Amino acid sequence: ALELPRSGNRQTLLIRVAGVLSAQHKNWGIIKRSLKRGGGSVEIPSPGDSDQESSIEAPSIEETVETFISEHPEGWSFEEESGLIETIKNEGVDASLSEVAASIEDSLNSHVEEVEQPIPPMLQELSSEEPTLEEEAALLEISSRRAEVEAAARDYLLVGSTTDMDDMNTFISSLSNHGFSVELGRVQDAIRTIIMETAYRSEQEQNALSSKPGSWSEREAIRLFEQMRPQLRERIPEIVAGRRGNLVQARMEFEEEARNLGLDLRSPAVSGRLHALFDLHLEISEAEELQDPAAARRNRMLRILYQGAVHLPDDVRRTIERLERNLPSFESLVETVLESSEGDFSEAQQSLIIRFLESKGYLVNTSELRPRVLACAGIVGTELGYLTPSQIPRLAPGILVSDEQVDAIVAELKALAATFKPQTVEQEEPEMKIAESVADASDRVGGVRGQIDRVDALLSRLRLQDDQ
């Protein structure tokens, strides 16, 4: 009874109630009073006709829907679905009735494959359990360092997306390097929420950049920002250089600088322009570094210093890292030495560079670092015009020889050692042995002498590293 439609005129509703009561009269007793006023008897219509009509209409609707779906295997648009309804109306079926419309909708939905998709972060429900003391402390730390998390989120959103769950989880895990307890689930949820809010705010900022001010206060805030733009643009290089490439800290300091100038960063139009100015400066700086010859020269030096560094001891790697931080000073040292020697880069100048670095605490006079440092000095001299490419000191053989070359040298030594072993000779007559030994004496002496020369050459190559 509860499944019957609850709409219609008064007569229809009375008929439905009477039908329910008559169906249940054995349980409730005989109905002695009519629901219809006037004392007349109520005639209950037979539902046979409507059932027959629905049974006739249902197959026709189902067949029409199946034909429509077979013609559109990849899906259909709203206009095409409207055309289907018009086709059903042309067949004599009143598609405006709720029962017919529901039947069409059910037929269409039954043929649509449901694809289970992961719940996006913005729709995930947070845990309703009470947080522990450790989680409370971690959440308080995130709240106090929210500006830092937002700056990191903006840096992530430059290339990342909130829909890429794997990439977002990797980014959240990387925040452990900044002291956040990202192993806790509540901390991850809090950071994920901040990322979503930052993404939404960034979208608002992008929309505000291409639209007109929506209020007088917003227009005045944009006007103030345009007045402060030259001053902010001059401060960006100083801030980035002061943070030593830490873009998250640099962005936070840049926001604080804007607040000190009186800018209202709560307005998306102002904050969007501010961060767009910062990002534009970073892109310009990267383009300048790619065209800067000094940056290209230092990258070449770093490739030489870090060649095979993963197999070097820890103290050697620490020295290389220290040299990397002070490459401009190293270039000044090499330039001074070459200028005083008028372009001469002999062993005296090379020793002078090594001794000076040792006096400053650099442990470079080793078989691993000395060839690398001298090769870097040769690169600096070549770039500055003091030396020619042929005068660049070459790396030691111990660095140039790869694993395959070492195997080849060992195999060659084994082959030479095998030639000196006594060979088994078949027993022959004494006269034949004497004749063959006399004939091959000179050839054998020459072959042994050539083999000895090859051994001496290999030993000289292997001894070269110890001499340097």
pLDDT recorded at residue 59 = 53
Q: Cα dihedral sign for 145, 150, 156, 162? A: positive
Best CA proximity match to 165, nearest among 138, 143, 185, 195: 195
φ, ψ of residue 181 to 5 degrees: the values are -85, 75
Q: Tell me the per-residue pLDDT of 351-367, one tens digit each, with 9 for 90 and over.
A: 889 999 998 888 888 88
Confidence at residue 72, expressed as pLDDT on a 0 to 100 scale: 73
Q: What is the pLDDT of residue 430?
A: 61
Residue 365 is predicted with a pLDDT of: 86
The confidence score (pLDDT) of residue 389 equals 79
Q: Nearest-5° angle of CA 101, CA 102, CA 103? A: 90
Residues 282-339 have pLDDT tens digits of 888 777 766 777 777 888 888 888 887 778 888 888 888 888 888 888 989 888 888 8
Residue 419: closest CA among 466, 374, 388, 455: 455
Cα dihedral 97→98→102→108 (10° resolution): 40
Q: Are 350 and 357 in contact (CB under 8 A)?
A: no
Which regions in the chain score pLDDT beneath 70? 1-60, 74-75, 77-79, 93-100, 108-129, 245, 289-290, 395-410, 420-439, 442, 464-468
The answer to whether the predicted template modeling score (pTM) of the entire model surpasses 0.75 is no
Decide: 205 and 269 in contact? Cβ < 8 Å.
yes
C-alpha angle 458/461/462, rounded to 5°?
Answer: 90
Which amino acid, residue 285? S
How confident is the model at residue 13, as a pLDDT? 66
The per-residue pLDDT for 435 is 60
pLDDT at 115: 41
Q: Given this model, what pLDDT does residue 16 score? A: 65
